[in-house]
Structure 1
Amino acid sequence: MSTYMAKPQDINREWYVVDMDGKTLGRVATEIAKILQGKNKPMYTPHIDTGDFVIVVNADKVHLTGKKLEQKMYHKHSRYPGGLKSTPYGELLAKEPEKVIELAVKRMLPKNKLGRQMFKKLKVYAGAEHPHQAQEPKELEL
């Protein structure tokens, strides 16, 4: 018996909606990363993108445990000396709530060309509305 390898033409992609209202960031981000990779399907193949599309709504109502709202920092560097910029999580959540979820999920995906392809299937919106009604997304309860 040989191992099944998925082929790109055999992949059937679904659309899912995740409501982040009151959900913990890390716990939901791991589940979203699994769906983007296709690990929830029996036809999962590591070198092929078998994942589904995920729409995240209410990104501004995400929950974080402990004192992370004040203590957790996001860092970026300009690659110049002294170019480190640090932003507290609370400030980033107020300005760009979509970016918080995108960064959490992106860092859980593979760091290669396939991971970048998987990340493009993630759509994040701060409010409850999204423009993907035509795809008939299914509600995903996590």
Structure 2
Amino acid sequence: MKTIFKKPAEIDRAWYLIDAEGETLGRVAAKTAVLLRGKHKPEFAPHAEIGDYVVIINAEKVQVTGRKEKRKIYYRHSGHPGGIYAETLEKVRVRKPTFPLEHAIRGMLPKNRLGRKLFKNVKVYAGTRHPHAAQQPQQISVQ
């Protein structure tokens, strides 16, 4: 049998809409990563970008389980000696409400140029408004 690879012009790209209100952070990120990579399609190839576009609304209302709101810590470093910053999930949400979901999705994509390219196909919005109505995204559930 021959393996069939799709050319970039032959790929059928769909737009999906995920409402993250009341959903668990990891489940939304996992579903989004599958759609971005194209793992739900029969012509999936791990080296090709054949995934779909995903629009996520209400990212600020995504939930976490347990005591992660106060105990989950995000680290970043300025590059200078002693320049490490640590922020809890609670404080990060106030400063940048879409960051926890974006961070989780990015962590589930490949760590190479393909992953960086796939991440450009996800649009995360804190509220219910988004500028992608013209693409007529199909609403899907996380479950």
Tell me the TM-score normalised to structure 2 length: 0.96
Q: In the alignment, residue 77 of structure 1 is paired with which amino acid? A: H
Displacement after TM superposition at 1:94 (Å): 2.0
Corresponding residue for 1:49?
49
CA distance, structure 2, for counterparts of residue 98 and residue 60 of structure 1: 6
CA contact (8 A) 1:54 1:122 kept: yes
CA distance, structure 2, for counterparts of residue 125 and residue 28 of structure 1: 13
Q: In the alignment, residue 20 of structure 2 is paired with which amino acid? A: M
Corresponding residue for 1:25?
25
User: Which runs of structure 2 are paired with 1:86-101 in the superposition (5 Å)?
Assistant: 86-101=86-101
Q: Considering only aligned residues, what root-mean-square deviation do their CA atoms show, in Å?
A: 0.8
Tell me the TM-score normalised to structure 1 length: 0.97
Corresponding residue for 1:112?
112
CA distance, structure 2, for counterparts of residue 102 and residue 114 of structure 1: 16
CA distance, structure 1, for counterparts of residue 44 and residue 98 of structure 2: 28
Corresponding residue for 1:131?
131
Quick one: percent identity of the two aligned structures? 46
List gaps (5 residues or longer) in structure 2: none
CA contact (8 A) 1:7 1:48 kept: no
List gaps (5 residues or longer) in structure 1: none
CA contact (8 A) 1:59 1:101 kept: yes
- Bigger drift between 119-128 and 7-16 goes to 7-16
- Bigger drift between 9-18 and 91-100 goes to 91-100
CA distance, structure 2, for counterparts of residue 108 and residue 8 of structure 1: 23
Give 3-state SS (helix, strand or coil) of 2:75's partner.
strand
2:47 corresponds to 1:70:
no
- Bigger drift between 89-98 and 121-130 goes to 89-98
CA contact (8 A) 1:60 1:94 kept: no
Q: Deviations over 1:47-95 (max 9, x none)?
A: 1100100000001101000000000000001121101001100111122
CA contact (8 A) 1:18 1:141 kept: yes
Q: In the alignment, residue 29 of structure 1 is paired with which amino acid? A: A
CA distance, structure 1, for counterparts of residue 3 and residue 100 of structure 2: 38
CA distance, structure 2, for counterparts of residue 83 and residue 117 of structure 1: 29
